[in-house]
Amino acid sequence: MLALQSPLDMHLHLREQEMLQLVAPLSARSFAGAVIMPNLVQPVNSRDRLVSYRRAIVSACGTDTFIPYMTLFFREYTREELLAVRQDIIGIKLYPAGITTQSDAGVRDFDSIAATVSLLEELDIPLLVHGESSGFVMDRETEFLQVYAKLAGNFPKLRVVMEHISTAASLEFLERYNNVAATVTLHHLLLTLDDVAGGLLQPHLFCKPIAKTPRDRDALRQAVLQGHPQLMFGSDSAPHPRHAKECCGCAAGIFSAPVALPMLVQLFDGAGCLEALQTFVTGNAVRFYRIKPPEKMVQLRQKSWRVPEVYGTVRPFLAGQELQWSFADQDN
């Protein structure tokens, strides 16, 4: 038996309506809170939208032991707007325009954002960033490091989060800045491009940033297993209905919410590093974001179960595979 104290998912897509109803309880079961991404079909970029989206999430979760840490979609904000929303958000999420699902309203010119970024620094609001250039798909994250360098260097008191890092280069970069942290997904700890496109093509393992080389995967894995203080777990769990994944132009996103915590335990346990897991899923995030998640003990036991092929309309990560750890209250 293993008890995790208030595990957190620091990067989560919950969508809206039926999909929200389907996936929110699966995250609420595993985690004490999650950072909610704002890239809905209509971006969450006003306090009104934020409040109504949070209400929908709380209702869908059906528990008071799960906090949705809300984010606003980056645009030019005034000081007044930011002051008004400051207590309602954990940070602002910046997308380069067009780089991933529902990011058309993102930033096109990084030279034009200094005023808003400066306000974030002044008001101590963290900036969460999807860090990819529009270059060659395997180089996008590394090419974006120059933007991170400007953000972290020009705004030394701004807290910057490199979201879902996927390369050894990002890890090396991170270590040069005190004001920068990063989230790491489960799938980037497990996959390389070989898993996506080395045998048959696997749309359900297709995500952004795309899984990289074995060297990248191994560097990330080693860092989290050793308790790297700047790395926080963020699943980037992103459900799409099967028809959007198994088609002639397939959406990016891996739905890992229902398997994230058991698989993380399996990964850390298998490497003999279970003691680093609490740091990865709670400690680093609490310290960086200065949050106090609800007290919530999540218990897992070493009892195998088979991941369902589908949850509603969504095929989950590791579908059909046998995992070694399950939730203590789970009917295996």
Residues serving a catalytic function are 236
- Is residue 62 close enough to count as binding a second copy by CB under 8 A? no
Q: Is 206 in the site for a second copy (CB under 8 A)?
A: yes
Pick from 3, 97, 115, 137 the residue near a second copy by CB under 8 A. 137
Minimum CB separation of residue 305 from a second copy in Å reads 21
Least Å distance between CB 318 and a second copy?
Answer: 13
Residues 314, 241 contacting (CB under 8 angstroms): yes
DSSP state, residue 260: H
- DSSP 3-state assignment of 285? helix
220 binds a second copy (CB under 8 A): no
Please identify which residue in 51, 169, 250, 323 interacts with a second copy, judged by CB under 8 A. Answer: 250
| 103-111, 197-205, 228-236, 295-303 -> range binding a second copy (CB under 8 A) | 197-205
- Exactly one of 245, 283, 318, 327 binds a second copy (CB under 8 A); that residue is 245
Beta strands 91-94 and 326-327: pairing type? unpaired
- Residue pair 9/260 in contact (Cβ under 8 Å)? The answer is yes
Residue 214 binding a second copy, by CB under 8 A: yes
Is 204 a residue that touches a second copy (CB under 8 A)? yes
7 binds a second copy (CB under 8 A): no
Residue 153 in contact with a second copy, rule: CB under 8 A? no
Count of residues in contact with a second copy, rule CB under 8 A? 29
Kindly tell me which of 213 and 222 has the beta carbon lying closer to a second copy.
213
Rg of the Cα atoms in the chain:
18
The answer to whether residue 169 forms part of the interface with a second copy (CB under 8 A) is: no
Taking alpha carbons only, the member of 332, 318, 270, 286 closest to residue 90 is: 286
Question: What residues contact 255, with CB distance under 8 A and at least 6 apart?
Answer: 23, 237, 238, 239, 240, 311, 314, 315, 316, 317
201 binding a second copy? (CB under 8 A): yes
Name the pairing type of β-strands 326-327 and 67-73.
Answer: unpaired
**Residues 41/45/50/52 CA torsion (nearest 10 deg):** -50
According to CB under 8 A, which residues from 225 to 244 bind a second copy?
Answer: 242
Q: Is 308 in the site for a second copy (CB under 8 A)?
A: no
| Contact stretch for a second copy (CB under 8 A) within 12-20, 36-44, 69-77, 196-204 | 196-204
State phi, psi for 47 to the nearest 5 degrees: -65, -35
CB of 221 to a second copy, least distance (A): 16
Q: How far apart are CA 198 and CA 196, in angstroms?
A: 6
Contact criterion met (CB below 8 Å) for 230 and 279: no
Contact set with a second copy (CB under 8 A):
136-138, 192-194, 196-204, 206, 210, 213-214, 242, 245-252, 315
